[in-house]
Structure 1
């Protein structure tokens, strides 16, 4: 029984090697009848011969993270990819060509939704429909107090650093502050048109 499984393993290994040899011969344009066994490439040389863009070792689908995002980027699901492209084009049209701003868009969406809720809640008696169920939100106080405390500590550290710079005790901090503010002013001039 052990001899039969050893023979089947040797047979499948020989078949797998001959299959890989045939594939590599087809890829390289060689005929397997003219090659001898000593000149046939091994499995590692076949793997090295596979051309991947930018020298990657993994397929592009796995480089992009696999799953649905990679499928969308590689257009494997054409409807979802076309929808994503359409939404991106509409966003580009809104913000670039029509010079629409994000804050304006958010405000208009909120105005529309509040108007619809107001009209629905006042018209429910005329339409004999149930009024809209708007949930009640209560934000806990503790996280905001912790954020305010952490922010207060950071602001105090900033004031202490400004005091050190202003008193002339640390030239290095002074130069870093000047360069940082200068770079920030340049970036700010790029953002505001």
Structure 2
């Protein structure tokens, strides 16, 4: 969602995406490990996540693996590697496998759950606000966007759509943070064009729709 003021057309205020006002992109995304991941502050971790998503997509979509089959094959491979490593360690005096227990910190789960909960509440509040007709522009834009996504769903399967969405989540915030001014300028031009179009539709169509008489509220 974009943040803007009514005097944007006069060039007084620059359009800010993600509804962030004057905050940085990192702060708008939560300012934690999730923001670091999306903005590639740790390139190894972000690259590993993106590579993992790409590998999963390749195995399911291109190789056409079944989930259960893939899981079993991965476990078989892990067991064989550990078995060969253990036997080889006794014969060739290698260092035996010492796999530490992988324990994720509770703070990681809490932070992830808090971020997801916060974003879901923001989305739900905005959805209810728009669906109740409080903002006609966002209402028609939402209807159009959902219809467009529904049409895309007819031609792209769910796995490809999810992969494309994750790819966008992993790349677009990073690109926007790097080329912020260019994106803001482009968003400003698009926003102004949308405002002109809406005003034209409002003048030619919406204002001509007959409305019933407005009842005056009774004073207590």
TM norm structure 2:
0.34
Structure with higher Rg: it is 1
